[in-house]
Structures are given as structure tokens and as C-alpha cells.
């Protein structure tokens, strides 16, 4: 079906607005200093162990928890001045908790199995996205109006990780109100990519992806309503998993989802090593873990694999970088050689409507007729909604409390239709039906995460809809694991998404573990 004249005008109008916002930023925005500082290579071997391995060594008293936590504190203090990923630390408290872990291990020496069952993440350093409540830490999501707010409790998923023995080191930067591709705000500043500090880290869990990619943490927690786990994982060369919806609790985040968005928001694990994904998901899911059958072995040779190289040519989304197409092609060839299978190359035409579907469903009412909060309401933080056009004027003279990206999103919201068209709803239904039938209970789909490798700072203002490659799977409710698969010619991470049917998370994670072995997984940015 061809676009109508009005729809074409809207598309070009939105593109024009994006270019206008970028031009305004170039005229009035801050200037970055010349020269690109580089991270130092990892020197402490403790930083090169997975969370699973660290917990085992701590239980066996092969290394003290104090040594592990101090190693990560030293690394954060070394790299954070360059990347600005961790915005508030709790190092003294973390060291006290590490000392308690060491005492516990001494008292229960010889009872390793019991410790593993009760505290599977005992002593493992953890970083937390600042949008999650972590007792004693700020929870602003980059809003100046929330400056000074300190939480008194833990978000549900954070509490589960702590209960399993993980030790939080601090909280990490986000985009303003967690709704943009770049983790930058007036409260904490901009977070820089560890592989090249002139590049973005993604959003909204960008600080989380960055501190992990920098080897400043080994496991972390993020949230994802349009790619906010997977995009930072991609740009920072790590693993990130968006679970099947309804499995990991979302309570304790700011902003909280409203309306039908509750069905699309997912809390999930982020980490440098694929073997940590399964354990983290089991812990974070709590009693819901049994719904995923995570204990069942996965024989990759018995799975059916599919590969889709691009979205088919959406008018809203950039063409995909040839380096990403080649990387996915190499992954396909490696899977075929390793597993002695045939990966089916398929085309799914409905994917080119991904942005329209995501945008339409994000504004839908829930089953009880409740509408989601508007972005201007979220920016007002329970106060009066902001007026975005006035904020844009204020921004040009350095008087706005909001970033240009947030203001631009609020303006774009004004152009959004109140009701999704029947055409968009039909494409969503067709896509749901096709993927459910294709994937079944043993199918895995390979699909790009984003059309480009990590863009330079502020460049997403040119292409605000490129997140559609990830956002569509929030709407479809499918579990997805983002996997690093090497480096580009520029030394930046390459990656792809691994998708399965609902409640088949174990298939995507098992595939991620194999791809880590096949392609090398995370690479030390200081050694690139």
C-alpha cells in the first residue's frame, strides 16, 4: 500500500524537524575539545573473569571479595573521568559488604554447594542504571527537577540481585527521562563510548552499557521499551537481554510505564560475558523463572535458524551499514560450519513498518482504557507538562532545564496521531502471525540491532527513528539477546540481535554463548 500525500508530507516534515533541531544544536550547543583520549588496557586479571567465575572463586576462597571489589573500584576511578558512565558511587559501602562476604565464606568454608544455591552471585560487583531505585542512591533519570532525590529502598529486580549476593558499586547515566538514544542530560553530562570517546553509548541504559564495556563492572541491570538495553549493549560491545515481557519485575523504575506501555517495558541483564546471562535472568525473574524452563539443555544443532539482513527499506530508517550486513553474513557462515546446519535467509516485508507499529502502540490505551502519560508530562515530573516550543526558545539562550533531544521528542509527540491506522494495525497482526509461525518452539532469528555502528555524539538527531530495529520486538513481546560479533574497520563494536518466540529466552541465550566462542565476544577497548 502506497503512502498517501498527507503521510508523505508528515514523513518529510518530521525529517525536516530533525534537521532543524540538529542545525540549532550546531549553532548553540557546546563545543567538544579536540583530541580523543583513550582508555588504558585492562591490567588486573580479575577484571577479565565472568560473574559466574568470580562467584566460584570467592566461594572457594581462591580470591577474596575485597580484592575483587577493590579491583573494580580502581578500574572505575581510572576510566570514569574519560567516559562519565558512573554518576554516583557507593565504594565505601561496597567494600564493607565485600568484607562481610569474606567473613561469611570463612565461616561456611566446606559448604560451597549451599552457598551456591543460596547466593549464586556472592560477591560479584554490580552496576545499576540510575533509573532504578537503589537504596541510598539518586534516582533522577537525568531530570534537574529531581536533583537531590535519594531513594530509601531497592527496585524489585535490584533487590533480587542483591539477595543473590551481588554487590552494587554505584549507579550509571541515562538519557533524560530514559527516552533517547544518547545518554546525556544537564544533571550528569554526556557519557562517552569507551572505544572512541567521540561516539555515543546509546540510551537509555547507556551509562550501564559503557561502564560494562569499559571493564568497570562485570554485570549490570537495564530496562528496555524500544531498545534501551540492546542499543547500549551493541554500541559498547557487550551482551544484553530483553526478556519475554512479564517475567522480570519492572517495579521501582522512574519513569514507570503507563497505559499499554506496561506490556512493552522489560527489565533485563547486561554483562560482558554470555555465561552470566542465564544466571542473571534466573535470579532477576525470581519465581517467574520456572515459566522459561531455563534449566533445560539447548542443543543448537536441533534448532532452526533464520537470518534477515535488513528491514526491507523503511522510509523512516537509514539504510544499513554494509559492515553490519557482512558481519551477520559471517555469523551465518560460522553457524552453518560449526553446527552443520543450514541457516535460512528470509525476507519479512512487514518489518519495514516497524517504526509506525512501535509509535502507534506506544500511545495506545490499555485494556481498562487508561492512556499512557505523554512525554511532556514525564518531563514535568508530576507537575505541569512542559511546553516544548517554548523550551526550544529557552534552550537557544541556555535557559532550558531540558536537553535538545528531549525537547525534540516532545515536539515530535505533537505530530503523532491519536489513533493508529487500520493499515498499521493490520501490518502488526501480519508480522505477529508470521514470526510466531516461523519461530515456533525451536526457531531463532538473526537480525541487525541498528543500521549503523555507534554514531558520533548528537548525530542521532539526524535519524531519530533508527531504533525501530529494536523497538519492534518490544511490541511483539519476543525475547531478544544482543550479541557482540567483532569490531568494525574503525575499531567499533559490531553486533546483532538473536530473537526467539515468547518464553524461549533460553534459545537466544544459548546462541549468544556459542557466538561468544565463535566471534570472540567482548573486546577490551583499551587494547583495540
Superfamily of domain 47-371+418-519: Amidase signature (AS) domain (3.90.1300.10)
Alpha-carbon distance 210 to 195, whole Å? Answer: 9
Alpha-carbon distance 435 to 471, whole Å? Answer: 15
Average pLDDT, the chain: 93
Under the banding of pLDDT at 50, 70 and 90, the label for residue 432 is: very high
Q: pLDDT over 90 for what percent of the chain?
A: 84
pLDDT at site 359: 94
- Per DSSP, 300 falls in state G
Q: Please state whether the predicted TM-score (pTM) of the whole model is above 0.75.
A: yes
State yes or no: pLDDT of 5 exceeds 60.
no
pLDDT at site 372: 85
Asked if 182 and 84 touch (Cβ cutoff 8 Å), the reply is no
The grid coordinates listed for 238 are 557487550
Hey, which residues are catalytic here?
129, 204, 228
pLDDT at site 36: 87
pLDDT at site 23: 53
| 317-332: b (≥16 Cβ within 10 Å) or e | beebbebbeebbeebb
Alpha-carbon distance 427 to 249, whole Å? Answer: 30
- Domain ranges across the chain: 47-371+418-519
Q: What are phi and psi of 486, to 5 degrees?
A: 115, -170
SS (H, E, C) 439-465: HCCCEEEEECCCCCCCCECCHHHCCCC
- CB within 8 A of 34, min separation 6: which ones? none
The grid coordinates listed for 482 are 544482543
Query: Please, how many CA atoms are within 13 Å of residue 426, restricted to the half-sphere of its CB?
Result: 4
- CB within 8 A of 231, min separation 6: which ones? 181, 202, 203, 206, 209, 449, 450, 467, 470
State yes or no: pLDDT of 150 exceeds 80.
yes
pLDDT at site 11: 52
Alpha-carbon distance 222 to 220, whole Å? Answer: 7
State yes or no: pLDDT of 6 exceeds 70.
no
Under the banding of pLDDT at 50, 70 and 90, the label for residue 418 is: low
Average pLDDT over residues 166-192: 98
Place of cell 555507534: 454
Place of cell 550547543: 29
Per-residue pLDDT of 33-60, as tens digits, reads 456 899 999 999 999 999 999 999 999 9
Per-residue pLDDT of 290-330, as tens digits, reads 999 999 999 999 999 999 999 999 999 999 999 999 999 99
Count CB neighbours of 182 within 10 A: 26
Under the banding of pLDDT at 50, 70 and 90, the label for residue 430 is: very high
Quickly list H helices, 108-229. 112-118, 156-163, 206-213
Per-residue pLDDT of 235-285, as tens digits, reads 999 999 999 999 999 999 999 888 899 999 999 999 999 999 999 999 999
Amino acid at each position: 500500500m502506497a503512502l498517501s500525500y498527507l503521510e508523505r508530507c508528515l514523513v518529510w516534515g518530521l525529517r525536516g524537524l530533525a534537521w532543524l533541531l540538529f542545525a540549532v544544536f550546531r549553532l548553540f550547543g557546546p563545543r567538544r575539545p579536540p583530541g580523543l583520549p583513550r582508555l588504558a588496557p585492562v591490567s588486573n586479571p580479575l577484571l577479565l573473569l565472568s560473574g559466574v567465575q568470580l562467584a566460584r572463586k570467592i566461594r572457594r576462597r581462591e580470591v577474596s571479595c575485597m580484592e575483587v571489589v577493590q579491583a573494580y573500584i580502581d578500574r572505575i576511578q581510572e576510566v570514569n573521568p574519560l567516559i562519565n558512565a558512573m554518576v554516583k558511587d557507593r565504594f565505601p559501602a561496597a567494600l564493607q559488604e565485600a568484607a562481610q562476604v569474606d567473613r561469611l565464606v570463612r565461616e561456611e568454608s566446606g559448604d560451597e554447594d549451599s552457598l551456591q544455591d543460596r547466593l549464586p552471585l556472592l560477591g560479584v560487583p554490580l552496576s545499576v542504571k540510575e533509573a532504578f531505585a537503589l537504596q541510598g542512591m539518586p534516582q533522577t533519570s537525568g531530570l534537574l527537577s529531581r536533583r537531590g532525590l535519594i531513594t530509601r529502598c531497592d527496585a524489585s529486580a535490584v533487590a533480587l540481585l542483591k539477595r543473590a549476593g551481588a554487590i552494587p558499586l554505584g549507579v550509571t547515566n541515562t538519557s533524560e527521562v530514559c527516552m533517547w538514544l544518547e545518554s546525556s542530560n544537564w544533571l550528569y553530562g554526556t557519557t562517552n563510548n569507551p572505544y572512541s570517546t567521540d561516539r555515543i553509548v546509546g540510551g537509555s541504559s547507556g551509562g550501564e552499557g559503557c561502564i560494562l564495556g569499559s571493564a568497570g563492572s562485570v554485570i549490570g541491570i537495564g530496562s528496555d521499551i524500544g531498545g534501551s538495553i540492546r542499543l547500549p549493549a551493541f554500541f559498547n560491545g557487550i551482551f544484553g537481554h530483553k526478556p519475554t515481557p512479564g517475567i522480570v519485575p519492572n517495579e521501582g523504575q522512574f519513569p514507570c510505564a503507563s497505559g499499554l506501555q506496561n506490556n512493552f517495558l522489560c527489565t533485563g541483564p547486561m554483562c560482558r560475558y554470555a555465561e552470566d546471562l542465564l544466571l542473571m535472568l534466573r535470579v532477576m525473574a525470581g519465581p517467574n523463572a520456572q515459566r522459561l524452563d531455563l534449566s533445560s539443555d539447548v542443543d543448537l544443532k536441533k534448532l532452526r535458524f533464520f537470518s534477515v539482513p535488513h528491514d526491507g527499506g523503511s522510509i523512516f530508517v537509514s539504510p544499513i551499514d554494509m559492515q553490519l550486513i557482512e558481519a551477520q553474513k559471517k555469523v551465518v557462515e560460522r553457524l552453518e560450519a560449526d553446527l552443520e546446519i543450514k541457516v535460512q535467509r528470509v525476507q519479512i516485508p512487514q518489518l519495514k513498518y516497524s517504526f509506525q507499529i512501535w509509535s502507534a502502540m506506544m500511545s495506545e490505551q490499555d485494556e481498562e482504557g487508561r492512556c499512557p502519560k505523554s512525554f511532556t508530562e514525564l518531563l514535568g515530573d508530576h507537575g505541569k507538562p512542559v511546553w516544548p516550543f517554548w523550551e526550544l526558545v529557552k534552550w537557544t539562550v541556555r535557559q532550558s532545564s531540558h536537553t535538545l533531544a528531549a525537547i525534540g521528542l516532545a515536539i515530535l509527540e505533537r505530530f503523532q496521531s491519536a489513533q493508529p491506522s487500520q493499515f498499521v494495525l493490520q501490518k502488526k497482526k501480519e508480522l505477529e502471525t508470521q514470526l510466531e509461525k516461523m519461530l515456533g518452539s525451536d526457531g531463532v532469528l538473526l537480525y541487525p540491532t541498528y543500521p549503523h555502528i555507534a554514531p558520533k555524539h548528537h548525530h542521532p538527531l539526524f535519524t531519530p527513528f533508527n531504533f525501530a530495529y529494536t523497538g519492534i520486538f518490544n511490541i511483539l513481546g519476543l525475547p531478544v539477546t544482543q550479541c557482540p560479533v567483532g569490531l568494525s574497520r574503525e575499531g567499533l563494536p559490531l553486533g546483532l540481535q538473536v530473537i526467539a518466540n515468547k518464553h524461549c529466552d533460553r534459545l537466544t541465550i544459548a546462541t549468544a554463548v556459542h557466538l561468544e566462542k565463535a566471534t570472540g565476544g567482548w573486546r577490551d577497548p583499551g587494547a583495540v
